[in-house]
Amino acid sequence: MRQVMVGLGARSYPIWIGHAQLPKLNEALDAVGFPRRVGLVTNPTVGELYGNQVTAALLAGNREVNVIQIPDGEQYKTLTTLEQIYDTLIDWQFDRYCGLLALGGGVIGDLTGFAAATFLRGIPFVQVPTTLLAQVDSSVGGKTGVNHPRGKNLIGAFYQPRHVHCDVGVLATLPEREYAAGMAEVVKYGVIRDAAFFSWLEQERDALTARSPRALEQAVMISCQIKADVVESDENEQGLRAILNYGHTFGHAVETLAGYGVVRHGEAVAIGMVMAARASVRLGFGTEADVVRLTGLLRARGLPVEPPAFPAEDYLAVMRHDKKVRDGGIRLVLNHGIGAADLHRVETPETLLRELLL
Ligand code: NAD
Ligand code: GLY
């Protein structure tokens, strides 16, 4: 078992990473003094696969468990679902001495975290992430929230969990596309912060394709360590934390133009990272060789790398709508070679985009 600490003073918490970790959940909750009464939030897909194991682990430690099931899908990450969670907690007479446990991917984690942040002005919660994306990204760092009809993640709070429990064994049942989408974020950490990790991902291609628990433990641990370091320096995203959005500005435009659900978020981020790497070459921060390595690694992970063929004007229109273009310029996270990145302001995004889309 590996452990990463997210060091945020009184709000610090451990991330446990291992294989066959679910039975150790109770031990982990005891270690952080988690309440004995637990509301387990999940969806039918994950509940069917892992709900019994998690419930058994909690009951074995004399915890009391109530289960809340919400339907599976991003379209349920809403204020309406949140209200249903509150209603259930009130029916159950949950008080401040109770806690919530999120068992699922980023949708369950974001919703549960925000319910925990706001119910009775805050009750403890833990994350048991079951997608690769949730294990390496969404369960760590305390961003919680729901979507609004007019935009994703518009309502939310920074609220840290008490513990994150990653069992890489659960990734065995993840559909291929979801696994690949999580890998886009793993690759991102190598590009923005850790050249040795990037090389390791290249070397471990086959083990990662086979979902080897050894390779996955290492990949999740290094990813969480990098995210923890960034979050420790800038919890509320006043500066450095923005580098975690590498590839996301272009990626979001790709997602919007191609249509949500057509391209998965992680796939759009993969394309967005290649666009960012090409932009870095144009602006003198990176080399063609970086782009070749990045596209090679993303392709090996089953991810797309070419932007869909929409005119540069369409990309710009989306970025303007997202308020990414301000006063004619755009703020972009650009990689400096492989292993470092920084925020830059680009004054002529039109020219840049036309060059990138040639
Ligand atoms: P998701 O939660 O929708 O999960 C993807 C699918 O996989 C779902 O159908 C789910 O039921 C299924 N699933 C989950 N675990 C499984 C398993 N082990 N085996 C089989 N199927 C499984 O999607 P996601 O990609 O995990 O998360 C996306 C969400 O995360 C978005 O809402 C996004 O906004 C959010 N997010 C949040 C942060 C953050 O910092 N809080 C960061 C990135 C993304
Ligand atoms: N997913 C980006 C962040 O947590 O800041």
Q: How far is the CA of 264 from the centre of ligand 2 (A)?
A: 17
Q: What is the pLDDT of residue 358?
A: 76
Q: What is the pLDDT of residue 300?
A: 96
Q: How far is the CA of 328 from the centre of ligand 1 (A)?
A: 35
218: nearest Cα among 201, 243, 232, 199:
201
| pTM for this predicted structure | 0.97
Q: What is the pLDDT of residue 301?
A: 97
Q: For the domain covering 176-356, report its CATH number.
A: 1.20.1090.10
What percentage of the chain has pLDDT greater than the value 90?
90
The CATH topology of domain 2-173 is Rossmann fold (3.40.50)
Q: What is the pLDDT of residue 260?
A: 75
Residue 320 has pLDDT above 90, yes or no: no
- Asked whether the domain spanning 176-356 has the same topology as the one spanning 2-173, the reply is no
Q: What is the pLDDT of residue 64?
A: 98
Rounded-to-integer distance, Cα 355 and Cα 358, Å: 5
CA angle 177, 249, 346 (to 5 degrees): 150
The residue extents of the domains of the chain are 2-173, 176-356
Q: Say which ligand is closest to the CA of 6.
A: 2
- Is the torsion defined by CA of 3, 7, 10, 15 positive or negative? negative
304: nearest Cα among 269, 335, 277, 329:
269
Residue 324 has pLDDT above 90, yes or no: no
Backbone angles phi, psi at 345, to 5 degrees: -100, 125
Angle between helices 265-282 and 288-300 (to 10 degrees): 170
Q: List CB contacts of 348: < 8 A, sequence separation 6 or more.
A: 328, 329
Question: Which pLDDT band holds residue 82 (cuts at 50, 70, 90)?
Answer: very high
- Ligand 2 atom showing the smallest separation from residue 244 Cα: 2
Residue 341 has pLDDT above 80, yes or no: yes
Mean pLDDT of the chain: 96
With the most atoms of ligand 2 within 8 angstroms of its CB, the residue from 153, 227, 248 to mutate is 227
* 143 close to ligand 2 (CB < 6 Angstrom): yes
Rounded-to-integer distance, Cα 40 and Cα 30, Å: 16
What percentage of the chain has pLDDT greater than the value 70?
100
Q: Which of 140-149, 173-182, 342-351 has the lowest mean pLDDT?
A: 342-351
62: nearest Cα among 36, 35, 98, 27:
36
Q: Which residue has the higher pLDDT, 299 or 324?
A: 299
Which residue ranges have their beta carbon within 6 Å of ligand 1?
43, 45-46, 49, 72, 74, 77, 104-108, 110, 130-131, 133-134, 137-138, 141, 143, 152-153, 170, 173-174, 178, 181
- Ligand 2 atom showing the smallest separation from residue 230 Cα: 5
Burial class (CB in 10 A: 0-12, 13-18, 19+), 196: exposed
Cα dist. 81→105, 248, 343 in Å? Answer: 16, 27, 36
Question: Which pLDDT band holds residue 349 (cuts at 50, 70, 90)?
Answer: confident
Strand order in the sheet with 325-326: 325-326, 329-335, 341-346
Q: What is the mean pLDDT of residues 81-110?
A: 98
The catalytic residue positions are: 121, 143, 185, 227, 237, 241, 245, 248, 252, 265
Q: What is the pLDDT of residue 54?
A: 98
Q: What is the pLDDT of residue 323?
A: 72
DSSP 248: H
With the most atoms of ligand 1 within 8 angstroms of its CB, the residue from 178, 186, 260 to mutate is 178
* pLDDT digits 0-9 by tens, 274-315: 999 999 999 999 999 999 999 999 999 999 999 999 999 999
State whether residue 32 is helix, strand or coil.
Answer: coil
Residue 75 has pLDDT above 80, yes or no: yes
Q: Which of 25-29, 178-182, 323-327, 340-344 has the lowest mean pLDDT?
A: 323-327
* 137 close to ligand 2 (CB < 6 Angstrom): yes
* pLDDT digits 0-9 by tens, 219-228: 999 999 999 9
Q: How far is the CA of 260 from the centre of ligand 2 (A)?
A: 20
* pLDDT digits 0-9 by tens, 146-205: 999 988 899 999 999 999 999 999 999 999 999 999 999 999 999 999 999 999 999 999
78-83, long-range: CB within 8 Å, 24+ apart, which pairs? Answer: 78/146, 78/147, 79/146, 79/148, 79/155, 81/111, 81/146, 82/111, 82/114, 82/115, 82/146
* 265 close to ligand 2 (CB < 6 Angstrom): no
Residue 85: other Cβ atoms inside 10 A: 21
Q: Say which ligand is closest to the CA of 154.
A: 1
Q: Say which ligand is closest to the CA of 75.
A: 1
Q: How far is the CA of 70 from the centre of ligand 1 (A)?
A: 13
